[in-house]
Amino acid sequence: MEHFLALITKPDNVPILAILFLIPFFLWLSYRQARRTDRTGVPSDAALNDKVYVWPYLCRNEFICAIIIMLVLGVWSIMIDAPLEEPSDPAKTPNPSKAPWYFLALQEMLVYFDPWIAGVVLPGLIIVGLIAIPYIDINPKGKGYYTIKERPFALAVFCFGFLILWIVLMIVGTFLRGPGWNIFMPWQYWDPHKVVPLTNVNLSSLFGIRGETTAIFFGFAVIAGYYTLGPIYYFWKSKSSRFLQELGLIRYIIVSFLFLTMLALPIKMILRLGLNVKYILESPWLNI
């Protein structure tokens, strides 16, 4: 418990506590507007589309907002001091060593994937995927107002990625990870000598495959099969679905690749936590 309290009151973790309140608040605020739009069929702000003068109306808002934020920042800066620990010492590694709080979702992914995936490929794909969003989301509706009904898929995917895979993992990494990067519940004592049996096995072993070459082929087949799920769905449905035809094969392949890659993280988490799966594909060149 004392370690958890120390974590919660750590000055650098104040932003995460703020996020715990800010995100539900803004979710509620946007949900209310989206529901009203969906019920009435008209964007809730459509009636307010006439023009007003920036000076004084917008400038006044900006000024008031800036004053309030500066007040909050001023009080925050007076009340809470920025942390300063002992001088740096390359020979003294703290346990656990944590990255800054905004990178903890990435550090959390390292539990489930090798560094080249969790630390390089997945962050890279997050960036590429974010930039690609406007080019692969061809739904012309829901532009400039809150709505759920007109773009459920886009919202579900983004909210899952942002709220669950980014924010929740960040919070887990900050508050629940202790020495040895083991999970410690808030009421548990941070035991630096905690022994966690490493009983993880590869997926191929779960299926009783013992031969090394067979295991590589098996792992490769599982991953290739996973990624061909997308194209299979396309050729199965594209005859009857107007949406898929409009999207086109190239855009569809990009969407399905990014979507399946995003889902690979929770799938690997479930496999690891539920079945103790270490790797899906283990080979001399790379492990996934």
Partner 1 sequence: MNEERKGLKEKITNSDIWKSIFRHGYEKTGRRYTLQVLQNVWLHLHPPRISRHALNFRFTWCMGGITFLMFLVTAVTGVLLMFYYRPTAEYAFADIQALEFDIPFGMLLRNMHRWAAHGMVISVMLHMFRVFLTGSYKKPREFNWAVGVILLLITFFLSFTGYLLPWDQLAYWAVTVGTNMARATPVLGHEGPFAPSDITQANDVRFALLAGTIVGPSTLLRFYILHCVAVPLVASVLMALHFWRVRKDGGISGPL
Sites for partner 1 among residues 117-156 (CB under 8 A): 118-121, 127, 130-131, 133-135, 137, 139-147, 151, 154-155
Residue 59 or residue 164: which is nearer to partner 1 going by CB?
Answer: 59
The per-residue DSSP string of 205-272 comes to: HHTT---HHHHHHHHHHHHHHHHHHHHHHHHHHTTT-HHHHHH-HHHHHHHHHHHHHHHHHHHHHHHH
Instruction: Label residue 4 exposed, middle or buried (CB < 10 Å: 0-12, 13-18, 19+).
Output: middle
User: With CB under 8 A as the contact rule, which of the stretches 38-46, 202-210, 232-240, 257-265 interacts with partner 1?
Assistant: 38-46
248 near partner 1, judged by CB under 8 A: no
Does position 112 bind partner 1 by CB under 8 A?
A: no
Site membership for partner 1, residue 259 (CB under 8 A): no
On the 0-12 / 13-18 / 19+ scale of CB atoms within 10 A, 84 is exposed
**Tokens, residue 273:** 């936590």
How many Å apart are CA 51 and CA 58, to the nearest integer? 11
Q: Are 244 and 238 in contact (CB under 8 A)?
A: yes
Taking the least distance from each CB to partner 1, the nearer of 90 and 208 is: 90
Which residue's CB is nearer to partner 1, number 155 or number 222?
A: 155
Q: Which of residues 107, 174, 202, 204 is near partner 1 by CB under 8 A?
A: 107
- Residue pair 281/287 in contact by the 8 Å Cβ criterion: yes
Among positions 13-32, residues that touch partner 1 (CB under 8 A) are: 14-15, 18-19, 22-23, 26, 29-30
From 77-85, 195-203, 231-239, 243-251, give the range in contact with partner 1 by CB under 8 A: 77-85
What minimum distance in Å lies between the beta carbon of 63 and partner 1?
11
* Binding status of residue 41 toward partner 1 by CB under 8 A: no
Residues ≥6 apart with Cβ < 8 Å to 182? 194, 196
Task: Rule CB under 8 A: choose which of 6, 24, 116, 168 binds partner 1.
Answer: 116
Question: Nearer to partner 1 by C-beta: 104 or 271?
Answer: 104
Asked whether position 6 contacts partner 1 by CB under 8 A, the answer is no
| Footprint on residues 214-233 left by partner 1 (CB under 8 A) | none
- Shortest spacing between CB 65 and partner 1, in angstroms: 5
Q: Residue 7 interacts with partner 1 (CB under 8 A)?
A: no
Residue 174 touching partner 1 (CB under 8 A): no
Name the one range near partner 1 by CB under 8 A: 95-103, 217-225, 241-249, 250-258: 95-103
Closest listed residue to residue 257, CA positions, set 226, 278, 287, 281: 226
Contact 239, 231 (CB under 8 A): no
As a whole number of angstroms, the distance between CA 258 and CA 255 comes to: 5
For the segment 42-71, give every residue that binds partner 1 (CB under 8 A).
42-43, 45-46, 48-59, 61-62, 65-66, 69-70
Minimum CB distance to partner 1, residue 187 (Å) = 26
CB of 240 to partner 1, least distance (A): 26
Angle between helices 122-136 and 249-275 (to 10 degrees): 140
Contact between residue 255 and residue 154 where contact means Cβ atoms under 8 Å apart: no
Query: Distance (Å, rounded) from C-alpha 284 to C-alpha 106?
Result: 25
